[in-house]
Structure 1
Amino acid sequence: MKLFSVVVCVLAAGTAGAAAQQRSPDGFRACNLTAREIEVAKALDTGVSDGTSRIVISEGWYKLPPNACTFLWTGPLQYGQYLVYAQDKVSGREWTGTVPVCVAPQAFTIRASTCGPNHHRRLFRQVAVGRQNGWTHNFTP
C-alpha cells in the first residue's frame, strides 16, 4: 500500500468562493475545500499507443483531509491536460468528468490502455492547464 503525503494549506476566507481552478506554484495541486475527507486519483494520457489504444497512467488514492492540499504532480507542468477524480466514500459523493479511466479499490498505479481484473472505470475530469507551470484544482462542496 502506498503512502501519500499531504500538505495542509491555510485557506483564506475568500478562497471558498474562488473559481474551481486557478494558477498555483509549479506543479499540479489539488485542494479539498469540503468539510469531509476525500480520496483523489490522478491520471495522465501519455500520448503513446500500445498498438490498439492510447496508454493512460492512473494512480490513487490520495487521502485529502478537509481544507488541505497536496501536489499530484510536482515541478513545472509538462502537459497541457491532466485528469482528476475524487470521491467521498462516506457520503458517496463523486467529483467526475467525462473521461473513463481505470482505478482499483485500494492504492494503485495502472499503466495500461484497458482495465485488468479487479479494476473498474471512473469518469475523470479533464483539466486543461494550457502553458501554465503550476495549477490548483479545488474540489468544492
Structure 2
Amino acid sequence: MRRSLSAALALTIFGAAPAMAALRLCNQSFDVLNIAMAEPREGGFITRGWWRVAPNQCATLERELLRSRYYYVFASDIFGREALAGSIPMCVATQRFEIEGQEDCLLRGYLDARFLEVDTQEQDNWTVFVSPRPQ
C-alpha cells in the first residue's frame, strides 16, 4: 500500500504536468547575444527585445501557445555584430522595446535590423539554436 501511494504521489508531482508552449532561443556560440523577436499581429508585425543570452544558455522569447507558423529572430553580439544571417527588415530600439508596425523604422526613430524567418512547422514549442560563427 505504501509503495503504490508513493508511486501515485510521484506521478502527480512529476509525470502529469502539462507541456508548456514556448518559443525559445539557445545560444551555442561563444558570445553573449542580444536577442529581439517579431511575430505577426493583425495584418502587421510587432517586435520585442531585448533578451541577453549568455553562451550555453537559453531564453524563452514567447511563453504562450505559438499562434503563427512563422516567427522572426534577430541576434547580435555585444559589439553589435549580427549573429544570425537574416533578410527580413524590421524595427528595433537601443533599449528594451515593443514596436508595432515595421514601416519607416528610421523615420520613426528606430533602428533597422535584418531578422531571420523561423518556420515552427505549426508546432506548439520551438527552439532556435544559434551556433558559433565560422571563422
Calculate the TM-score normalised by the size of structure 2. 0.75
* Matched residues, number: 112
Q: Is structure 2 residue 38 aligned with structure 1 residue 43? A: yes
Instruction: Look up the SS of the partner of 1:95 in the other structure.
Output: coil
Q: 93, 118, 123: which is aligned to 2:114?
A: 123
Q: 30, 44, 67: which is aligned to 2:25?
A: 30
Deviates more, 1:30-39 or 1:85-94: 85-94
* Counterpart position of 1:77: 66
C-alpha distance in structure 1 between counterparts of 2:51 and 2:113, whole Å: 15
Aligned-pair identity (%) = 29
1:98 counterpart letter in structure 2? S
Q: CA deviation at 1:47?
A: 4.5
Q: 54, 77, 83: which is aligned to 1:88?
A: 77
Shift in CA distance, 111/33, structure 1 to aligned 2, threshold 3 Å: same
> Greater RCO between the two (CA within 8 Å, min separation 6)?
1
2:108 counterpart letter in structure 1? P
CA displacement, residues 41-83 of structure 1 (integer Å, 9 cap, x when unaligned): 00012242xxxxxx21001110011111011011321110000
Structure showing greater radius of gyration is 2
* Counterpart position of 1:136: 127
Instruction: Look up the SS of the partner of 1:66 in the other structure.
Output: coil
Calculate the TM-score normalised by the size of structure 1. 0.72
C-alpha distance in structure 1 between counterparts of 2:71 and 2:80, whole Å: 26
Cα RMSD (Å): 1.9
C-alpha distance in structure 2 between counterparts of 1:130 and 1:60, whole Å: 23
Shift in CA distance, 74/31, structure 1 to aligned 2, threshold 3 Å: same
Q: Is structure 2 residue 100 aligned with structure 1 residue 111? A: yes
Query: Structure 2 stretches of 5 or more lacking a match?
Result: 1-18
Instruction: Look up the SS of the partner of 1:86 in the other structure.
Output: strand
Shift in CA distance, 84/38, structure 1 to aligned 2, threshold 3 Å: same
